[in-house]
Amino acid sequence: MFAQQGFERTTVDDIAAAAGIGRRTFFRYFASKNDLVWGDFQAHLAWLEQLLAAAAPSLPMMDALRAAIVEFNRYDPADVPWHRQRMELILNTPTLQADATLRYAAWRRIVTAFAARRTGLPPSDMLPRLIGHAALGAALSAYATWLAGPGFGSVRSAGHGGTPARSGLRHVGRPGRRRIALSADPGGLRAL
């Protein structure tokens, strides 16, 4: 319905009627129609935490992060068309973009906490925060590229968006590299 009518023009009453339930029943499961698009995002975030916690300590931080993000974004091939519509809505609907800010902040906190553990810095330090923001930016950029054209054939391909951030941040977390300066280059962010 969102794809056919548009997110804003589709009401909770429309959704409830199509599902054969009452409005009150809808609100027993979802706080808003925004939540319907996101699904059980809290469970997905818990899974991301588990993936990062399970990463081998010997695996370089950015490689571990990339692997977890790719796995986090893996979908059954049968679900990919639905997921494509869902991501189109999330990335292109102003109401959902505003709602996404809170969800992305929760995602970044998980990545920032992982980076803090790996670097030995507090999560409030600039470096773990930078890694959280850069990883989210890379993931969103990969999704936007995937949605824009046929060059990315699967959701798994979208996970490769972590590569530029990984190459640009490959030196972070090493002893003696606490101070960093950033520059943009064709390979992504560069830690100097």
User: Do 88 and 5 share a structural domain?
Assistant: no
User: Do 144 and 100 share a structural domain?
Assistant: yes
User: Do 59 and 24 share a structural domain?
Assistant: no
User: Do 179 and 102 share a structural domain?
Assistant: yes
User: Looking at the predicted structure, is the pLDDT value of residue 186 above 50?
Assistant: no
User: Do 72 and 19 share a structural domain?
Assistant: no
User: Looking at the predicted structure, is the pLDDT value of residue 163 above 90?
Assistant: no
Q: What is the signed CA dihedral for 150, 152, 155, 161, rounded to 10 degrees?
A: -140
Give the count of domains, the chain: 2
User: Do 153 and 135 share a structural domain?
Assistant: yes
Report the pLDDT value the prediction gives residue 165, as an integer from 0 to 100.
45
Average pLDDT, the chain: 81
Distance CA 144, CA 158 (A): 9
Burial of 103 (0-12, 13-18, 19+ CB in 10 A): middle
Report the pLDDT value the prediction gives residue 82, as an integer from 0 to 100.
87
Model confidence pLDDT, tens digit, residues 22-47: 999 999 999 999 998 888 889 999 99
Using 50, 70 and 90 to split pLDDT, how confident is the model at 69? very high
Average pLDDT over residues 131-150: 90
Q: What is residue 185's DSSP assignment?
A: E
Burial of 178 (0-12, 13-18, 19+ CB in 10 A): middle
Distance CA 142, CA 120 (A): 29
User: Do 119 and 155 share a structural domain?
Assistant: yes
Report the pLDDT value the prediction gives residue 150, as an integer from 0 to 100.
63
User: Do 138 and 157 share a structural domain?
Assistant: yes
User: Do 41 and 4 share a structural domain?
Assistant: no
Higher pLDDT, 185 or 49: 49
CATH code where residue 112 lies: 1.10.357.10
Using 50, 70 and 90 to split pLDDT, how confident is the model at 149? confident
User: Do 75 and 94 share a structural domain?
Assistant: yes
User: Do 177 and 92 share a structural domain?
Assistant: yes
Give the range of the structural domain holding residue 3, as residue numbers without chain letter: 1-30
Model confidence pLDDT, tens digit, residues 72-102: 988 889 988 888 888 988 998 988 988 899 9
User: Do 60 and 2 share a structural domain?
Assistant: no
